[in-house]
Amino acid sequence: MTIRDELAEVVAARGTGLIGDWLGPLEVKQDVLAVLHAGRNLLLEGPVGSGKTMLAGAVAAGLPPIRFAGCDFGCLPGESACPQCRSGVVRDEEHIVFGAQRLMRVQGSPDLVAEDLAGDVDPVAALEYGALDVRALRPGRLLRAHRRICFIDELNRLSERLQNLLLELLEEGAMTIGGYDVRFGVDTVVVATMNPSEYVGVERLSEALADRFERVRLDYPSAEDEVRILRSRAARDAGDRLDADPPPEAAAAIVAFANALRGDPDVQTPPSVRATIAAYDLARSRRVFDGARPWGDAVRDGLRLAFRGRVVLAAGTAEAERVDRWLDGRLRRLELAL
């Protein structure tokens, strides 16, 4: 059974329950599940903190466990399909990999090179077999994604050269490694994420690469869902170092302020959900060691600390280089009945 077959079975059996922990519109959940059930490669596009990584992890966690032979290529016991198994140089014992571990993550970065994804020469094996012997190949992350979900976080931070490296895998489920006269089959489904094109440090996706994905757009959670995310942290952290129970209005005020900045034309990079979580935690922390401080002031403190390093103003804004001053002005106008 291929991993596409496994995903189709899991999606059919569990439906939206497979990604039930992700707080988002039902229509978006159904789109994600339709892509996976059809065995297509999935591209999740959305702002930072919209839950893209969480979605991919939830999908992998739903996969059944699998027993591997112990090689780096994902062979099954007794299969002996890879150079390591055939030559008896398996690096590990047979072991079971559970669903959440069936996710091979590639973190998109301009610093990645082809060897990180495709593979490189193992110097010890090269001394024994020769550098051009396939037994000397140390597989990269794409080859090691065999029988796993290949999760590429921030796909559009990969260089154009590395984007092109993905085409054979996406189209044919195989990879040809330069220097070795061998073609490796890779049974995988690629789930990738992408930040919006206006973000700093991202590359444009080639048309050929974009055509091999089904794209699903994610947005920030609704205000109600985001408040629920923050409030759930207060319940989870009860009894620990952040045991300061804020009034319900505190979470609502933080989310409302964040949403105001998300729609502000002066803001190029708005606060993410991670930023609102940080602001909420910082406000609670402020109250722990200064219990006399009004919650309204603690919320402003949390927002200032969390947002000033994350919010980027548009280049044409008069105070683009003075985020602290701009943010302080907005916070002074923030009315908090706490």
pLDDT at 275: 94
> What pTM value is reported for the model?
0.86
Backbone φ and ψ of 190, nearest 5°: -95, 125
pLDDT at 312: 87
* Identity of residue 138: R
List pLDDT tens digits, range 105-154. 999 998 999 889 988 877 666 666 666 677 778 889 999 999 999 999 99
DSSP 225: H
pLDDT at 80: 82
Q: Which residues pair with 119 in a beta bridge?
A: 139
Q: What is the set of domains in the chain, with CATH numbers?
A: 3-217 (3.40.50.300), 223-332 (1.10.8)
State the helix-helix crossing angle for 26-37 and 52-61, rounded to 10 degrees.
50
pLDDT at 256: 95
List pLDDT tens digits, range 280-329. 999 988 888 887 888 899 999 999 999 998 998 887 665 656 888 899 88
Q: Strand 95-97 and strand 66-68: pairing?
A: antiparallel
Whole-angstrom distance, CA of residue 307 vs CA of residue 97? 39
DSSP track, 83-149:
HHHHHT---S--EEE-GGG-EEEEE--TT--HHHHTEEE-HHHHHHH-TTSGGGEEE-TTGGGTTEE
**Residues in the chain with pLDDT < 70?**
91, 123-132, 179, 197-203, 233-244, 316-321, 337-338
pLDDT at 287: 86
Q: How far is CA 44 from CA 56, 156, 323, in A?
A: 9, 11, 30
Residue 128's contacts (CB-CB under 8 Å, 6 or more residues apart) are 135, 136
H-helix or E-strand spanning residue 323: helix 323-332
pLDDT at 23: 82
